[in-house]
Amino acid sequence: MADHNGGQSGSTDAGTAVEPSVPRTVSSGTAVVVQDGIPNPGHQPHRLRVTDLDPKKEKEASRRVSGLFFLSLIGSVAAVVFYFVFPIDPSNLASVRINTLSLGVAISLGLLGIGIGAVHWAKALMSDAEITEERHGTRGSDATRAKAVDVFTLGNKESGFGRRALIRNSLFAALAVTPIPAVVLFRDLAPAEEPGELLRHTMWDKGVRLTRDPSGTPIKASDVTYGSAFHVIPDGLNEEEDRLEQKAKASVLLMRLRPEDLIEPDEKKDWSYQGIVAYSKICTHVGCPVALYEQQTHNLLCPCHQSQFDVSDQAKVIFGPASRPLPQLPIAIDDEGYLVAQSDFHEPVGPSFWEREL
Amino acid sequence: MSTATETPVTTTEPSTTSTAYGPFASPTRGARFTGAAANYIDERTSISGLVKEVGRKIFPDHWSFMLGEVALYSFVAILLSGTFLTFFFQPSMVPVHYEGSYVPLKGIEMSAAYASSLDISFDIRGGLLMRQVHHWAALLFVASIGLHMLRIYFTGAFRKPREINWIIGFVLFILAMAEGFTGYSLPDDLLSGNGLRIIDGMVKAIPIFGVWVSYLLFGGEFPGTDVVSRFYTLHILLLPAILVAALGVHLLLLVINKHTQFAGPGKTNGNVVGVPVMPVFAAKAGGFFFIVFGVIMLIAATFTINPIWNYGPYDPSPVSAGTQPDWYIGFADGALRLVPPHLEFLVFGDYTLSMNILLPLLVLPLFLGLVAFYPFIEAWITGDKREHHILDRPRNTPVRTAIGVAGVVFYAVLWASASSDLIATHFKLSIEGVIHGLQALFFLGPIIAYIVTKRICFGLQKKDREIALHGFESGRIVRLPGGEYIEVHQPLSDAERWRLTSYTDYEPLMIRPNSNGKITATQRLRAGFSRWFFEDRILPVSKGEIEASHHGDDH
């Protein structure tokens, strides 16, 4: 190793020297150039393994490796056997588990046997002598670079790319514009209507009954006891073609508080009915359903990002990332005593968007 | 092979080297067949040149180098299991009534995507296993990429000439997360639907275009009937194609640049010391692929992941408490949770600006941008244009290491925030308290981590210096004839000392006027950064100091 190290040690100080075959000097920036560094001690003597020294151990290792490969064989065959021996029985859910477990364990035995065997082979039996390979600077040699420059110069000369400015610039312009049709083609990813308008309307309208989610049975005011909360959808939603899109806007939570607990501004005094209030269930943050109602504190909690809304005070935000109160659905009762909407929401429900207040 | 030189040591083992160079020593039938086959292929592909070039290429060995391998091999597991799944999955949101084996959901209306995911889980032998292999491998894929990036960062393996490969690796990291999210959304279950709902809400907050972007993404109003098939195309075609291409370039550059190595005796910046591809590295790496795949398979066989049958089909109304995204999306979800209330404003009259969503949407790209461009920032500060193939030990670059740990803590705080509700319920804390605590940690955590890490690095460097100069403490107390007690220090071998003492040392930049006699603002900025990085430093041990210390120890 002395011969190898001899050529290197002068330039190995602090392990930062540039590859010596590049004669060019490269700035080392603010790196300190070491004058008094410790010399690289060079390669250390190779240490033999127990399998190199003891033929018995070598034989054992070799048996272990082939044993592992045989184990893999057993695993792979077992996997095929298990596939047929442990089928899925539709009437027995446990069969799914047994199928998954037996197949998976057998296949992993097939894989691990090969893997551990091969690594063991490499570590115990293959040569573990370290070999040194010289690096060359990543940069091409000066001659190569000169040739490359020639290629471009020649290409430029023969095509007139640099000289014929009109051709070149018109090509650039054409190339820049060609992708635009590809972008325009994607317009029909969405239907023609203006999306902003769709977000302003829900299925709620004057006289639409409040019904239970998901059964769709109407709710009488007398069913709503103090402290209870109902998950509500508009009547007829389940029959809609675009059921989920409508539900994503029209879901409502219905709660009854003691009327004296409710703080209501004058213009919304008649939006509730005997302490029964209805608020949009779609969070004004990013639109998760605000599904958790805490009846003691009258707080609604969004399970996604923990925004909290105070139902007793117009569903205002009291904690969390949401900004706006949940929109309130004005309700009343119809002739049969069922709860109905007085109108649609008076503002867009769900997450904020740029044109929301227009 | 002309570029590889055997170390003279190997000549002590004639048995191993002679077989390596004499494959056709005896013309057995097998050897004749191999020779003929090789000849047939080479005469049509000139592949012998490639074999000669890379067959004995040297790969250095260190346990941390396997993290990238884990990423690569888990990606192969993803490709294999994912291909199986495509044969059974129906990427369609057409409503169907479920008629499969899972009784609790029988007769319920759901999308074909969800129904076929249930069929894969309950009616196809090995289907659940493959689904779980796919999901576990995906989790491992992103995790191993993250750890691989940390290894690259903390050892300085991103320095010249590997900056471009760092960027490609970063792109792979982003692609992996995009693959994860699109794949997570495909089964169209309640949990993934809520994830999409959150994306929809975030997209809508984008000024001016938000509503349109959401509208085009979902093919109309959320949830629409298109998003699963569109995500499917992204998930199995577009993103994997880009990912495979980027991965190919990543590995090609790895071969061109040759692998980095830690400082060690005989290892220099101008060489690479390790084992050759044929046979040792090939056996180890090939074997390791099977180990990674086998472990994923074992986990998939024994641990349930994403039990979609428990969640039910997507419906915009119900949601269960304690819902969480897959781990790698957690930092983004956590960022949404930490925003304080009422950060929404009206601008230009009546336009809504939702800073509660835009703030995370700005902070996260800023953080990721810093990660992506760090190599260029550091290169600008040091001004070092040399190639660096010897890895740094993290302690020897205290400020870089401290910045890295601060970044890890920043990420970890956001990540923990995605579980704020679970932290509150498990530790019986109030959700408000947990959020306020995490908000404080968001600012303080990285600062504290930075200071502590920097100090620890200096401490370790001082210890290294002490050991390099005076040797290990042996624990042997000796009484001198004069009655004095001393502890005997065990001297270090040259090789051990070399490991401790060989590192690059930078000094702060001195501001100097340029050719016009002016000191530019960029120069001042660079000097400021340089002071920040290199003002406090521990010098590497010099030869003179070692000699002096030996002299001192002699008495």
Last residue of a domain, one of B392, B418, B441: B392
- Whether A291 and A251 share a structural domain: yes
- Whether B40 and B122 share a structural domain: no
B308 occurs within a structural domain:
yes
Contact B287 A114 (CB under 8 A): yes
B1 occurs within a structural domain:
no
User: Which of B16, B211, B290 is closest, CB to CB, to A354?
Assistant: B211
A229 CB within 8 Å of a chain B CB: no
pLDDT at A195: 84
Q: Which of B317, B358, B510 to mutate to test the interface with A (most CBs of A within 10 A)?
A: B317
B183/A305 Cα distance (integer angstroms): 23
B469/B500 Cα distance (integer angstroms): 10
- Whether A218 and A336 share a structural domain: yes
pLDDT at B553: 52
Contact B390 A117 (CB under 8 A): no
Contact B275 A190 (CB under 8 A): no
- Whether A210 and A262 share a structural domain: yes
Contact A245 B221 (CB under 8 A): yes
The answer to whether the CB of B549 falls within 8 A of the CB of B470 is yes
* CB under 8 A, 24+ apart: contacts of B93-99: B93/B188, B93/B223, B93/B224, B93/B225, B93/B226, B93/B227, B93/B228, B93/B229, B94/B225
B344 CB burial (10 A radius; 0-12, 13-18, 19+)? buried
pLDDT at B414: 96
A66 occurs within a structural domain:
yes
- Whether B145 and B19 share a structural domain: no
- Whether A245 and A310 share a structural domain: yes
Length of chain B: 555
- Whether A12 and A107 share a structural domain: no
Contact B354 A38 (CB under 8 A): no
Contact B216 A190 (CB under 8 A): yes
- Whether A76 and A170 share a structural domain: no
Contact B341 A320 (CB under 8 A): yes
The sign one gets for the Cα dihedral A25, A26, A29, A34 is: negative
Last residue of a domain, one of B348, B363, B392: B392
- Whether B255 and B348 share a structural domain: yes
The 3-state DSSP class for residue B338 equals helix
Ranges of chain B whose pLDDT falls below 70: 1-26, 551-555
- Whether A16 and A111 share a structural domain: no
B276 occurs within a structural domain:
yes
Beta bridge partners of A211: A218, A233
* pLDDT above 70 for A5: no
Length of chain A: 358
pLDDT tens digit string along B382-441? 999 999 999 999 999 999 999 999 999 999 999 999 999 999 999 999 999 999 999 999
Q: Considering chain A, what is the average pLDDT of its residues?
A: 89
- Whether A12 and A102 share a structural domain: no
Return the residue of A nearest to B424 by Cα. Answer: A306
pTM assigned to the model = 0.91
Last residue of a domain, one of B56, B71, B93: B56
A9 CB burial (10 A radius; 0-12, 13-18, 19+)? middle
Chain A and chain B share a number of CB contacts under 8 A equal to 467
pLDDT tens digit string along A38-62? 889 999 899 999 999 999 999 999 9
Q: Could you say which residues from 303 to 322 on chain A have a Cβ atom under 8 Å away from some Cβ of chain B?
A: 303-307, 317-322
A24 CB burial (10 A radius; 0-12, 13-18, 19+)? exposed
Residues A169-200 as b/e (b if ≥16 CB within 10 A, e otherwise) read eeeeeeeeeeeeeeeeeeeeebeeeebbebbe
Q: Could you say which residues from 513 to 552 on chain B have a Cβ atom under 8 Å away from some Cβ of chain A?
A: 530, 534, 540-544, 546
Can you tell me the mean pLDDT for A169-192? 94
pLDDT at A9: 38
- Whether A8 and A80 share a structural domain: no
Give φ, ψ of B303 to 5 degrees: -125, 125
Contact A108 B356 (CB under 8 A): no
Domain count, chain B: 2
- Whether B156 and B276 share a structural domain: yes
Can you tell me the mean pLDDT for A196-215? 92
pLDDT bracket for residue A17 (50, 70, 90):
very low
B171 occurs within a structural domain:
yes
- Whether B31 and B140 share a structural domain: no
A351 occurs within a structural domain:
no
Cα within 13 Å of Cα(A21), Cβ side: 12
Lowest mean pLDDT among A26-30, A70-74, A111-115, B69-73: A26-30
Write down the ipTM of this complex: 0.89
Note down the domain range covering A29: 1-45
Can you tell me the mean pLDDT for A51-75? 96
**Residue A106: both structure tokens together:** 């057998």
Return the residue of A nearest to B506 by Cα. Answer: A31
B512 CB within 8 Å of a chain A CB: no
A102 CB burial (10 A radius; 0-12, 13-18, 19+)? buried
Contact B542 A34 (CB under 8 A): yes
Residue type at position A289 = P
Lowest mean pLDDT among A11-20, A312-321, B285-294: A11-20
- Whether B70 and B41 share a structural domain: no
- Whether B92 and B224 share a structural domain: yes
A135 occurs within a structural domain:
no
A356 occurs within a structural domain:
no
Q: Which of A134, A354, A358 to mutate to test the interface with B (most CBs of B within 10 A)?
A: A354
- Whether B33 and B68 share a structural domain: no
B135/A316 Cα distance (integer angstroms): 40
Note down the domain range covering B100: 63-392
User: Which of A90, A190, A321 is closest, CB to CB, to B341?
Assistant: A321
- Whether B332 and B352 share a structural domain: yes
pLDDT at B219: 93
Domain count, chain A: 4
B77 occurs within a structural domain:
yes
A354 occurs within a structural domain:
no
B128 CB within 8 Å of a chain A CB: yes
Q: Which of A85, A126, A301 to mutate to test the interface with B (most CBs of B within 10 A)?
A: A126
Where residue B179 sits, what CATH number does that domain have? 1.20.810.10
Contact A11 B279 (CB under 8 A): no
- Whether A237 and A304 share a structural domain: yes
A251 occurs within a structural domain:
yes
B217 CB within 8 Å of a chain A CB: yes
Residues of B in contact with A323 (CB under 8 A): 341-344, 354, 356
- Whether A167 and A280 share a structural domain: no
- Whether A101 and A118 share a structural domain: yes
Residue B431, number of CB atoms within 10 A of its CB:
18
pLDDT tens digit string along A141-175? 999 999 999 999 999 999 999 999 999 999 999 99
pLDDT bracket for residue A10 (50, 70, 90):
very low
B533/B510 Cα distance (integer angstroms): 13
pLDDT at B25: 55
- Whether B209 and B351 share a structural domain: yes
B478 min Cα distance to partner chain A (Å): 30
B332 CB within 8 Å of a chain A CB: no
- Whether B281 and B388 share a structural domain: yes
pLDDT tens digit string along A249-268? 999 999 999 988 899 998 99
Contact A107 B206 (CB under 8 A): no
B536 occurs within a structural domain:
no
In percent, the amount of chain A with pLDDT more than 70 equals: 93
Contact B10 A112 (CB under 8 A): no
The bridge status of strand A328-329 relative to strand A276-280 is antiparallel
- Whether B49 and B98 share a structural domain: no
User: Which of B101, B294, B351 is closest, CB to CB, to A111?
Assistant: B294
